[in-house]
Homo-oligomer: A and B are copies of this chain.
Amino acid sequence: MVKLTDIAAKLDMSLTTISRALNNYSTVSLKTRDLVKKTAKEMGYVPNRMARNLAMKKSHLISLVYDDYNETISYQSFTFEVISGIRRYFGNTPYDLIMVPENKRGKNRESLKNISLSRGVDGLFIVGIRTDDSYIDEIKEDFMPVVCIDYPLNGKRISYVESDNIKGCRLAIDYLVSLGHKDIAFINGHNLAAVSPVRFEGYKTALEENGIPFNRELTINSDYTEDGGYRAAKSLLEEKREFSALFVASDLMAVGAIMAIKETNLRVPEDIAVIGFDDLFFAEHSHLGLTTVRQHKFEMGYQGAKLLHRIIEQPDYIPRKRKIDVELIIRGSA
List A residues at the B interface (Cβ < 8 Å): 1, 46-51, 53-54, 59, 61, 64, 68, 71, 73, 76-77, 79-81, 84, 86-88, 90-92, 96-104, 114, 117-120, 255, 281-282, 285-287
Q: Which residues of B contact A114 (CB under 8 A)?
A: 46
Asked whether A99 lies within 8 Å of B101 as measured between CB atoms, the reply is no
What 9 A-B pairs have minimum CB-CB distances, sorted nearest first? A91-B103, A87-B101, A91-B101, A73-B281, A282-B282, A50-B53, A97-B99, A50-B54, A68-B84
Asked whether A96 lies within 8 Å of B100 as measured between CB atoms, the reply is yes
Q: Which residues of B contact A84 (CB under 8 A)?
A: 68, 71
Q: Which of B61, B91, B287 contacts A102 (CB 8 A)?
A: B91
Q: Contacts A51-B54, A77-B77, A282-B282 given; indicate if A92 touches B99 (C-beta within 8 A).
A: no
Q: Which residues of B contact A99 (CB under 8 A)?
A: 64, 87, 96-99
Q: Which residues of B contact A100 (CB under 8 A)?
A: 96-97
- Listed A/B pairs (15) with beta-carbon separation below 8 Å: A47-B118, A48-B54, A50-B53, A50-B120, A68-B84, A77-B77, A87-B102, A88-B101, A90-B101, A91-B102, A91-B104, A96-B98, A96-B99, A98-B98, A285-B287
Q: Which residues of B contact A50 (CB under 8 A)?
A: 50, 53-54, 59, 119-120
Q: 17 other contacts beyond A48-B54, A49-B118, A97-B100, with CB at 8 A cut-off?
A: A1-B117, A50-B53, A51-B54, A61-B98, A73-B77, A73-B281, A76-B77, A76-B80, A80-B80, A86-B101, A87-B99, A91-B101, A96-B100, A96-B119, A97-B101, A99-B99, A282-B282
Tell me how far the C-beta of A198 lies from the nearest C-beta in chain B, rounded to whole angstroms. Answer: 26
Tell me how far the C-beta of A72 lies from the nearest C-beta in chain B, rounded to whole angstroms. Answer: 9
Q: Which residues of B contact A53 (CB under 8 A)?
A: 50
Q: How far is the CA of A92 from the CA of B46 in the complex (A)?
A: 31
Q: Which residues of B contact A286 (CB under 8 A)?
A: 282, 285-286
Cβ-closest chain B residue relative to A79: B80
Q: Which residues of B contact A90 (CB under 8 A)?
A: 101
Tell me how far the C-beta of A113 lies from the nearest C-beta in chain B, rounded to whole angstroms. Answer: 8
Tell me how far the C-beta of A109 lies from the nearest C-beta in chain B, rounded to whole angstroms. Answer: 9
Q: Which residues of B contact A255 (CB under 8 A)?
A: 285
Tell me how far the C-beta of A271 lies from the nearest C-beta in chain B, rounded to whole angstroms. Answer: 21
Tell me how far the C-beta of A297 lies from the nearest C-beta in chain B, rounded to whole angstroms. Answer: 11
Of listed A77, A87, A118, A285, residue having the most chain B CB within 10 A = A285
Q: Which residues of B contact A104 (CB under 8 A)?
A: 91
Q: Which residues of B contact A81 (CB under 8 A)?
A: 76
